[in-house]
Structure 1
């Protein structure tokens, strides 16, 4: 895998004018070629506040949480033991207390470096502890099995958040099993969605095509992270693939070297993942009762809307989520009037019948009475008989 990343560049060219610094910082490497010496302490210090500190809103977040009580496992190239910004907060598994490449130390600084007087660099969770675990060989070359073993070792060492600094195109079975091991023990695994740079074919000199998936980022339960730079975009030569859950500052970022107080500059999704691991430590510090899955959901749901969403540590610390669905209001029960009593109806029918009879009687009387008067109220037959007799 190519070491890539940035050549040494002026920090002023990579940061907004308000945060510009006039120093030139050495470039971070992901892998050292066999003929390259180990990374050394940087002689340069970034004294102005970095753009990542502003983009993540860390000063505001620290008023709520600083990572105290949380251990972050760093599965990478190791973490140096002589870094003032991490003093007394680094524990190592085996020989992981040395870092020839500097990548693991850089990532640990993004996660937990303490702010210092006259220094603009600070980690997202400056009170968190670091558990250094080697997931590569001494020159920074990873294998799926090394990474899987590193995840398990970090979890066994008590890490509540496990940062994995590498993405490999193979190793689905062993890395999925390692992530499952972490998930069952309530540890959140955070990893880059793709490598920082694609390998170059030694025979042709051509850059290889990106794989459709990288591990452990593609494993269920992993919080996978994409990078972006000060202008909100990614470098043109950055690996292009899918599957990121979150995006975070990862290009032209500044952090500590493998020893000493000086700083390096680097780019890549692995560094964005380190910033998200620090944000996860903040959430676990403020909400110790949250499970790993809940912390992951908190970070994604409370992020800035984008594709993928951009991590917002302060939002994750303050947003209140609930699994309870709002109840649907029930309509009031229909009021059915009681059955009408038959008495009024019967009374009405009786009155109507009586009225009808009265009408008939009146009509009959109107016919009979005049005729009766005309005959002197004599029966019709008597009148005829009398007329015949005369």
Structure 2
């Protein structure tokens, strides 16, 4: 064996230390492995509040008002939520919206304040014109003459403000010292406050959690999202809560590189090998991750692909409740005109509404069984699954009513009785004894021969 050089040993030791350190800090591996889950990193229960002093830096976003259509908006026609409402409208379900806050609206009568991790509020202030639109897609009530309504109009909304693009930390530290954790907002909000918000939502009695936010990082260095993974596991595995999250949108400062699609020449290749961008909490196994499609069912060009994408729903040119006034909005106003309601952020709440409908109609199902039902009743792509739309576009009526046989679980093998091991046989020393005896005899013969040869040599001398 070739001996290791000293510097090779040092590198190996440092690598092992780095791996152990990453595991201890909750830094998930970037390639070819799934994220790490450490239950010990679950945030303790606490009252919602910012981790640091914050202040508003920019003006609140201005929603773009739109007329209330008499027909169902185009983006929602394919899902046909109205076909499910004679069976269930989501009554009894509390859907937590972890977002930019939800402003009170006449068509959200069941709105509940859940807390504020951005400022000193209660979660019922949406300065970013985002969370209110998300909540409306989930639970906006039907109204006479209006074709718009949320997918589960009888569900209640628990609003937890976790991020905002218009608030920032009151801090004079250099930027490089502020980037210790990935952020899911340009202003304030990171994976730690998101983990705390999930814990708060679960402890507040939510049955479904919608997270229309994502933190993206390029692969290569891991993701310090240990508390977030622990919070997701706590919600789903320990407290039986369905967690729905957006897959993420291409563009911006973080989600820059698209992940590879399925290779038709290698259909059986592991999709966890070789992706370029990690999206959290989307990449956790227990999360129902939602990609976006257009109204015709084709994948949206902005939707971030990944091996963690489970299903898809419409996410382009949406209409929902306005955070300003009592009407509807279809986007926000910017310097270049109207920024439309487009993104996986608006596909996720439609799936959260489906989860609320299923939970209301089938309360005996666990959170994981609800997720399995939604996936198995979706309109699957030709290949059965792909990293853009997962198992396909959700079907609310099928998810609620179809006969779905639970996925079989591998039964543990019966144990087989085995005899006790036989005692080891007594060691056979005969070969050794024969060898020793032979050696002794040879030595004796040699000694006798030497002794007999001495007188003969003396006689032969002159």
TM-score, structure 1 normalization: 0.68
Q: Identify which of 182, 195, 215 aligns with 1:168.
A: 215
Residue 247, structure 1, aligned to residue 312, structure 2: yes
Structure 2 matches for 1:231-242, cutoff 5 A? 231-242=296-307
Residue 61, structure 1, aligned to residue 84, structure 2: yes
* CA deviation string 1:203-223 (max 9, x = no partner): xxxx83355321111112100
Q: Distance in 2 between matches of 1:40 and 1:236?
A: 24
Q: Distance in 1 between matches of 2:309 and 2:213?
A: 14
User: Structure 2 regions of 5+ residues with no counterpart?
Assistant: 1-55, 167-184, 217-222, 259-275, 331-340, 410-462
The equivalent residue for 1:315 is 398
The equivalent residue for 2:231 is 178
Q: Identify which of 345, 348, 366 aligns with 1:273.
A: 348
1:102 positional shift: 1.4
* Alignment CA distance shift 1:162-1:301 (3 Å): same
Structure 2 matches for 1:1-390, cutoff 5 A? 34-40=57-63, 42=65, 44-81=67-104, 83-94=105-116, 95=121, 96-137=123-164, 139=166, 141=186, 142-169=189-216, 170-183=223-236, 184-194=238-248, 196-200=249-253, 208-210=256-258, 211-265=276-330, 266-306=341-381, 307=386, 308=390, 309-323=392-406
1:252 positional shift: 1.4
User: Structure 1 regions of 5+ residues with no counterpart?
Assistant: 1-32, 202-206, 327-390
TM-score, structure 2 normalization: 0.58
Contact 1:175 1:219 in 2 (8 A): no
1:272 positional shift: 0.7
Q: Distance in 2 between matches of 1:277 and 1:179?
A: 15
2:157 alignment partner, SS class: strand
1:163 alignment partner, SS class: strand
Q: Distance in 1 between matches of 2:406 and 2:302?
A: 41
1:86 alignment partner, SS class: coil
Q: Distance in 1 between matches of 2:246 and 2:63?
A: 25
- Cα RMSD over matched residues? 2.3
1:271 positional shift: 0.9
Task: From the two aligned structures, give the one with the greater helix fraction.
Answer: 1
Q: How many correspondences in the alignment?
A: 287
Contact 1:190 1:222 in 2 (8 A): yes
* Alignment CA distance shift 1:156-1:299 (3 Å): same
Whichever of the two has the greater Rg, that structure is 1
Q: Distance in 2 between matches of 1:43 and 1:164?
A: 25
Contact 1:197 1:268 in 2 (8 A): no
